[in-house]
Amino acid sequence: MKKIVNVLMAAGIIGLFAAGLPLFAQPPAPLKTARLLGEAREPVRTLELPPSKGNPRNSEGAFVTLKDGRILFVYSHFTGGGGDHSAAHLAGRYSSDAGRTWTGEDRVIVKNEGGMNVMSVSLLRLQSGEIALFYLLKNSEQDCRPVMRLSNDEGETWGAPVTCITDEVGYYVLNNDRAIQLKNGRLVLPVCLHWPKGEPKADWQGTLMCYLSDDNGTSWRRSKTAQKGYDASGKRITTQEPGVVELKDGRVMMFIRASGGCQYLVHSSDGGDTWSAPVASEIKSPVSPASIKRLPSTGDLLLVWNDHADIPASLSTRRVPLSTAVSKDDGKTWQCVKVLEGNPKGWYCYIAVHPVGDSVLLGYCAMSNLAHSRITRVPVSWLYADKPEICLHGHFND
């Protein structure tokens, strides 16, 4: 990554942070149609999911485009409290206009069938044409495992759940929008094991691994590599909430929420079965997950994360700002750094990324810690614009 901070400082963004000024005003501005700003259109917030009475948290979602052109967004709808172990079900909203507007009422996608909850959704259009729905079935603090359901009717109904991890019961985390299918058809679930059943206490620093399926999700097996993270001095670090993306050369890159001030990276040359050791990257961040996906319209990788390059000390533990960058060399370097959301009171994380034509839909936790989620429609042209725009009080400035 080439001196990301220089780009931010050139735009005056770091100064705004230090002054405590929001780059995206709060409360959110009313929904509005995109207007041209030079050659780049501006991002537009298209759905707000704030907490309400009886619904204290809305978080961790994912998208899929249906064959009739609609887009389905499924997220974790909490009813029993705002904590990770509180009661929750999976709820859905639909868009018929490429994410510009959304249905006003939830549809229950999966009821709370866990001892605690169901949460943390991934949606994946399989090469077979079916839609795969993945989520965590959380029964206890020692039994939280991903399950998969298939739909043959575009999400109208879902088949019986298939437990993806059966070899060792434990508390596993599969983040939202993390499941992928490789070009060869293999399904890859990047997970982190925190509490094997029967162990006296949890290990929240985590053990990284993947679960793999070569038969469209009928059966699953653990990757040969399961590993913990260490820094260059050999000290144990936190490595958790991994994500994966297939590179153009056929390797798979894993990006990892980690302590130590940056995302860690590992690579696999055999489809996610064996992995290199985690190493620190130039992607500066707090202990917060990043998201990386390929943009079909350009072939480049899109990174969405909390950019902490020279973050003020007062904000060093916060999940701000929400930034974007693109890589033209499959993750070796990053450029076109932008700040999408910069309110210092924000809590931007668990980002779902869904390219749609000439735009990208981002669904993420935004405010009130994890309670308030948001969908923003971002033009691809904005991601590549030469000059970062600055947003003050809901308006972009040159």
Q: What is the pLDDT of residues 156-209, one digit of tens each?
A: 999 999 999 999 999 999 999 999 999 999 999 999 999 999 999 999 999 999
pLDDT tens digits, 51-70 = 999 999 999 999 999 999 99
Structural tokens at position 243: 């994500």
pLDDT tens digits, 215-272 = 999 999 999 999 999 999 999 999 999 999 999 999 999 999 999 999 999 999 999 9
Taking all residues of the chain, what is their mean pLDDT, rounded to a whole number?
89
Cα(144)–Cα(121) distance, integer angstroms: 14
Residue 21 pLDDT exceeds 60: no
Q: Identify whether 27 is preceded by a cis peptide bond (ω within 30 of 0).
A: yes
Do residues 242 and 191 make contact, with C-beta atoms less than 8 angstroms apart? Answer: yes
Give bridge partners of residue 373 from the DSSP assignment: 49, 365
Do residues 64 and 123 make contact, with C-beta atoms less than 8 angstroms apart? Answer: yes
pLDDT value of position 41: 82
Nearest CA-CA partner of 62 in 73, 76, 46 = 73
Give bridge partners of residue 264 from the DSSP assignment: 256, 280
Residue 332 pLDDT exceeds 50: yes
pLDDT value of position 233: 96
pLDDT tens digits, 57-105 = 999 999 999 999 999 999 999 999 999 999 999 999 999 999 999 999 9
Residue 26 pLDDT exceeds 70: no
Count Cβ neighbours within 10 Å for each residue of 176-204 and write b for 16 or more, e otherwise: bbbbbbbeeebbbbbbbbbbeeeeeeebe
Q: What's the rounded mean pLDDT across residues 325-330?
A: 98
Terminal Cα-to-Cα distance of the chain (whole angstroms): 25
